[in-house]
Chains A and B, each alone.
Chain A
Amino acid sequence: MTLAPIVQVGLPLLLAPMLLSVINRTKAVVAGRNGQPWLQPYLDVLKLLRKGAVYSGTTTWVFRAGPTVGVAALLVSTALVPFGGRPASVAFSGDVIVLAYLLGLARFFTVIAALDTGSSFAGMGASREVTFSTLAEPALFLALAAIARQTSSLSLSAMYGGVGVGTWAVAAPALALVTGALLVVFLAENARIPVDDPTTHLELTMIHEVMVLDHGGPDLAFIVYGSALKLWVLGALLVGLAIPARTGNAWLDGAAALAGMAGLAMATGLIESSMARWRLVRVPQLLVSACVLAALALLLMLR
């Protein structure tokens, strides 16, 4: 068991890109293609790390700092997320907030880096990004608050450690609502359909992609890897709630959680291939409804 902590830290760093390829594979299969190789994301990152870079004349150090700070924040945040029912390597009461704000930090630097290019498209993407995340933030907080209320504990690890089959038994409807809210947040924050389409090639419709158009080389590598990590972090929050496997046996629980992550990735892939990106004006409705779901869950718990 001594290698458990190492696994715990290593797992996300290692497996996060895999989520990307699972999603892509799923979409390919649904589309009838056989899709890219499993290790494609890793190869992309490595290739980019080995390249040089081109910087726009309008940019300043802020542009260069963006990806670095972003990926750094995400790296730290992975250490806060419990996985498979085991407490995270760093756990304290209130780490919920730290996690959320680390994501916020990453987003903020991505946004200002985008604005630094002076491109109107980047500005457009940045504006949309902040709009949607502004609405996603309360949903995330309320959802986590609901879990906290249910397990009456303030640290992620305790909260997720406390969620078990028994919890579902007593508060299934509330937790279901929370899961729904978290799913929406997951999709929105990771720039997934129906909020954003990562594969589009039309700048006008992009949100996340257009912000990173100007990055290249190691910076882009950081960004790709960072987005994978973000996928993992939010996914872990969702899965930890949805798959309440708390047998106490670390390996079993871990396996269950991993299966859950894979399932989540496939679900994402299915969603992406089964529906189109919503019109921008409708996205806020989706996010607000996520907030409503979480609030509803809290009401159910408060009564």
Chain B
Amino acid sequence: MTLVLVATALLVASGLGAVVIQSPRWCNAVGAGGAVGGCLLGLFSAAHALIDSANESLRVAWDVPGGAFYVEIDALSALFLLLIFGLSALAAIYGSEYVRHYEHKKWLGPPWFFFNLLAASMAMVVIARNGLLFLMAWEVMALASFFLVMFDDESEAVRAAGWTYLVATHLGTVFLLVFFVLAGQARGSLDFDRLGAGSAPASVLFLLAVVGFGTKAGFMPFHVWLPEAHPAAPSYVSALLSGVMLKTGVYGLLRTLTLLGPPPAWWGWLLCGIGLTSGIGGVLFALAQHDVKRLLAYSSVENIGIVTLGIGIGVVGLNADVPAVAVLGFVGGLIHIVNHAVFKGLLFLAAGAVVQATGTREIDRLGGVMKLMPWTGSVFLVGVVAICGLPPLNGFIGELLIYLGALRGVVTPGSVVAVPALVVLGGLALIGGLATAAFAKVFGVVFLGAARSEVAHAHEPGLTMRAPMIALAVGCLLIGCLAPTLVRVLVPVVAGATGLPIGRVAANLSPALSSLRAVVSCALGLLVTVALLVGLRQRLLAGRHVERGPTWDCGYAQPSARMQYTASSFAQPLTELFAALLQTRRQIVTPAGLFPRAASLQTSTPDICTTRVYQPVFGAVGRGLFALRWLQHGRVNLYVLYIALALLVLLMWKLG
């Protein structure tokens, strides 16, 4: 407990230190060093708390209305702390080299200050046990991340993205304010253990929480800030935002579920619905993007959707009192949270390396990067395999558990559980296929084939940037192989989240554990087979005639690199299928005449929620407000008339 607080304090202190220090090199060192140190400290204590799941809490009176400095580490918090500190440390290491490019043109103090503040506030969010404390940490987190998003604010796009993010997160917080106030009325205290559905019905609280936390987590209708903010931020920050900050929203939702007592069935259905929308919608928009970081951001929406599917089916199970389904759903969701933190962090870091080396985020301008940046390319491939949920890497584990939960739901008699379970099953399958398409596209077009442009001078980043990526890639494999252990560690977490007794959770998880062991053996079998085949291949080719040549050009002489299949053409068949949802915009200039001019095709897929919902609404409000501006016309007589009328109206109203 104290250790975590010390770690948080260290983070904040080093952040301040980075601001006061003038020399850029030292400021960089202090910022990154402090971040890493603090995170390691926190990691240690969080791991400790998770292993021998012992709840430590600390409550200090605090002189603000309704507030108390009340913090606690239970299994759930410990899990999230682990992610937060772990990824923050890696991101900080990576960042220390990443920001060196800006040393000469930027003051690095503020970025480091806000980075460390972000890490600290996220930690505070997951250990806070008092509504006010939570809200403060929550808002500090939002602000710190906002300033990080604004890192290179000369660009108009970045400023717009920052604005969107700030507005979205603020509006989300408004719902949380109401949520905590209403929940606090039950027993007249904002401490979590006294919150509950008292004056307001539980369902109202639940909906408030879904909107409030969902905005942060990136649930589909409220996700619009996400594909703007994540590309705008520097990559190590995007990694942190996507990897863990979104998860604080899920954390909040899980906490809420523990506060509100036994859930009605429709909560589960709602969550399943949200998960399905976010999952399919997210991956479809990811498929349609040209900007690699934007694509990754949308895929975060998708993965949050998968997590929500897990939680949703879990809630359905809880409600129908089918603990097997409930436990599998929750554990699947939690493990997917962990996995997503790992591989999405990895993907953002690798993408960042490519973007910094080539100076473009346009997928269609890249290509053949694998040859120039083999390390980055290989770890990116690992991340891609993982995020597509393919065995033997970690991504598969989480999805497998959710699938298992869904299957169990399908085979449970009756249709209360079976129907949502089927939805989850079909949805996951579709999402999986689309994700494979999307990531085959991004990996294939960016790293494989022939270089298109802009990549000539690209080169591998330094060790400080490579090390974190490699660490994360190893993590993907390890989690994949140590899945049973991980699940066993998560038992208390699941117990905390579902409110089921630990024994029951463990009992219901044991079949899943045996399957996982089998899966791991399959995975090992696969690896062995691959190894054997590679050996065989070597033996066969040894001494045989192996030559290099051009790609078979199907009869075209001199195919140029620009004739390669582009990302948009790769995705075109699928985007065609879902055109109704994506509404991709095309500007096409077809070749015409005998000697045609240069023809061109441009496609762009803006977010449908932004274009169809938010922009119209905001526009309407703005116009409406502008129409009222004549009130302040500047004629003093009429101003006095206002006063007279107000007086007259009041006299008539109150006395007449």
Contacts and interface: CB of A to CB of B under 8 A. Distances in A.
Q: Indicate if A touches B (C-beta under 8 A).
A: yes
Contact of B548 (A49, A54, A112): A54
A71 interface: yes
A127 B573 contact: yes
B422 A54 contact: no
A134 B411 contact: no
Contacts of A284: 577
A140 B429 CA distance: 9
Nearest to B563: A120
B515 A118 contact: no
Nearest to A114: B444
Given A118-B551, A119-B552, A130 B418 contact: no
Interface residues of A, number: 84
B83 to A, nearest CB: 25
Interface in A260-277: none
B467 interface: no
Given A58-B450, A119-B554, A120-B563, A101 B390 contact: yes
A101 B437 CA distance: 14
Contacts of B20: none
A82 interface: no
Interface of A, secondary structure class, is helix
Q: Is the interface of B mostly helix, strand, loop or mixed?
A: helix
Interface string A104-131: 1101100110011111111110111011
Interface in A285-303: 291, 295, 298, 302-303
Given A56-B551, A68-B537, A141 B388 contact: no
Interface string B372-399: 0010010001000100111100001001
Interface string A180-200: 000000000000000000000
Nearest to A213: B552
Interface string A141-175: 11001001100111000000000000000000000
A138 interface: yes
- Which residue, A80, A101, A135, A152, has most C-beta atoms of chain B within 10 A? A101
B391 A101 contact: yes
A219 B538 CA distance: 11
Nearest to B371: A60
Contacts of A177: none
A135 B448 contact: no
B508 to A, nearest CB: 13
9 contacts: A59-B551, A71-B533, A93-B404, A97-B404, A118-B551, A138-B429, A154-B404, A219-B537, A298-B422
Interface of B: 367-368, 370-371, 374, 377, 381, 385, 388-391, 396, 399-400, 403-404, 407-408, 410-411, 413, 415, 418-419, 422, 425-426, 428-430, 432-434, 436-437, 440, 443-445, 448-450, 511-512, 514-515, 518-519, 521-522, 525-526, 529-530, 533-534, 536-537, 540-541, 544-554, 559, 561, 563-565, 569-574, 577
Given A96-B407, A115-B443, 15 more contacts: A58-B449, A68-B537, A92-B514, A97-B403, A98-B400, A115-B445, A115-B448, A115-B565, A116-B444, A120-B564, A122-B551, A126-B440, A133-B433, A213-B554, A280-B573
Those 3 A-B pairs whose CB atoms lie nearest each other, nearest first: A123-B565, A115-B444, A134-B433
